[in-house]
């Protein structure tokens, strides 16, 4: 176990990961140029928190299980927990978080969360594996929350950056509603033109944009004609995009689960996107980030 950030690298990419939250702190190209947030405290000091055991905010910052309410902060507790470093090489590392006395008070399940990072050439592969080590079916959701540089360090103005989805995305999207952090029940028209989104700071003045009817499992981020980031998320059906307007990052957040809807009054099994994991079973969620010239 270590408290110091762990570095892994290939000849094309380098990354550092903190044991606090198993959080990806930096991703740099072969010339040392930053591909992630500058973590300017004027905006947001996060880098890439992991969202577990729930994605988003629970109404009243609590969830109900078997008639009892349990306190739960927005996006869960994993991002504030210290993971153990269980495997390490020059190009890969695996961190682990397991249930303990403190977690059982707010989430009474014997979970294990393994977070693996591996760099292969110009690709960073991240895999989160959730295991139910208890005797009861375990409810959970999981999400990624990495903040990528906006603008990327390859030229082109901020307004030239594009999100290009793998497929056209005409379906309506969701936004945050009247209750802070909760999702509005009414959908709004998609801001995507075909397969392309032209982001602006103004888009995020009302918080995140949320796709809960997403066709794509991959996208490109950057300026067409310049090196871009290809982001693959085959195991997560939903997506959030978020930033603090004016900041130097855009969060691209693949989710399996999301915040409660405005006015939600159900128990944990009625939360949207909840996964029911049987005893002894595991569920993995992969996210790959590749530096590409396309």
Question: How much is the pLDDT for 236?
Answer: 98
262: containing domain? 6-292
Look at the block and give the residue holding tokens 């990052």. Answer: 249
Number of folded domains that form the chain: 1
Question: How much is the pLDDT for 1?
Answer: 44
The CA dihedral of 54, 6, 13, 48, to the nearest 10 degrees, is: 20
Question: How much is the pLDDT for 158?
Answer: 94
Query: Is residue 103 a part of any domain in this protein?
Result: yes
Question: How much is the pLDDT for 173?
Answer: 98
Question: How much is the pLDDT for 4?
Answer: 83
Q: Flag residues of the chain having pLDDT under 70.
A: 1-3
Query: Is residue 220 a part of any domain in this protein?
Result: yes
Tell me if residue 9 falls in helix, strand or coil. Answer: strand
Contacts of residue 125, Cβ cutoff 8 Å, sequence gap at least 6: 116, 117, 118, 119, 286, 288
Q: Write the pLDDT tens digit of every residue in 120-157.
A: 999 999 999 999 999 999 999 999 999 999 999 999 89
Average pLDDT over the chain reads 96
Query: Is residue 28 a part of any domain in this protein?
Result: yes
Query: Is residue 111 a part of any domain in this protein?
Result: yes
Query: Is residue 86 a part of any domain in this protein?
Result: yes
Question: How much is the pLDDT for 10?
Answer: 98
Nearest to residue 271, comparing CAs of 53, 7, 16?
A: 53
Query: Is residue 245 a part of any domain in this protein?
Result: yes
Query: Is residue 247 a part of any domain in this protein?
Result: yes
- CA gap 256, 266 in Å, rounded: 19
Burial 12-48 (b: 16+ CB within 10 A, else e): ebbbbbbbbbbbbbbbbbeeeeebbbebeeebbebbb
User: Which CATH number fits the domain that encloses residue 106?
Assistant: 2.70.98.10
Query: Is residue 1 a part of any domain in this protein?
Result: no
- CA gap 234, 49 in Å, rounded: 19
- CA gap 234, 54 in Å, rounded: 19
Question: How much is the pLDDT for 294?
Answer: 77
Question: How much is the pLDDT for 211?
Answer: 98
């Amino acid at each position: 176990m270590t408290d110091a950030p762990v570095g892994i690298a290939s000849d094309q990419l380098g990354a550092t990961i903190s044991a606090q939250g198993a959080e990806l702190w930096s991703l740099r190209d072969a010339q040392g140029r930053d591909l992630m947030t500058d973590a300017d405290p004027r905006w947001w000091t996060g880098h890439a928190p992991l969202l577990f055991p729930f994605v988003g905010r629970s109404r009243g910052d609590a969830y109900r299980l078997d008639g009892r309410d349990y306190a739960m902060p927005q996006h869960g507790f994993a991002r504030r927990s210290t993971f153990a470093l269980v495997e390490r090489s020059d190009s890969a590392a695996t961190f682990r978080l397991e249930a303990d006395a403190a977690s059982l008070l707010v989430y009474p399940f014997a979970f294990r969360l393994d977070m693996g990072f591996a760099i292969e050439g110009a690709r960073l592969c991240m895999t989160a594996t959730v295991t139910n080590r208890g005797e009861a079916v375990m409810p959970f959701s999981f999400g990624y929350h990495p903040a990528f540089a906006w603008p990327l360090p390859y030229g082109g103005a901020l307004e030239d950056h594009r999100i290009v989805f793998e497929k056209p995305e005409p379906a309506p999207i969701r936004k945050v509603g009247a209750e802070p952090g909760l999702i509005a029940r009414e959908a709004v028209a998609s801001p995507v033109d075909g397969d392309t989104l032209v982001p602006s700071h103004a888009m995020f003045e009302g918080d995140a944009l949320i796709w809960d009817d997403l066709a794509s499992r991959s996208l490109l981020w950057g300026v067409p004609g310049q090196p871009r980031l290809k982001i693959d998320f085959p195991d997560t059906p939903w997506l959030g995009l978020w930033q603090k307007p004016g900041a130097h990052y855009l969060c691209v957040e693949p989710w399996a689960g999301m915040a409660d809807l405005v006015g939600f009054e159900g128990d944990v099994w009625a939360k949207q996107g909840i996964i029911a994991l049987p005893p002894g079973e595991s569920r993995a969620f992969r996210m790959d980030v590749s530096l590409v010239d396309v």
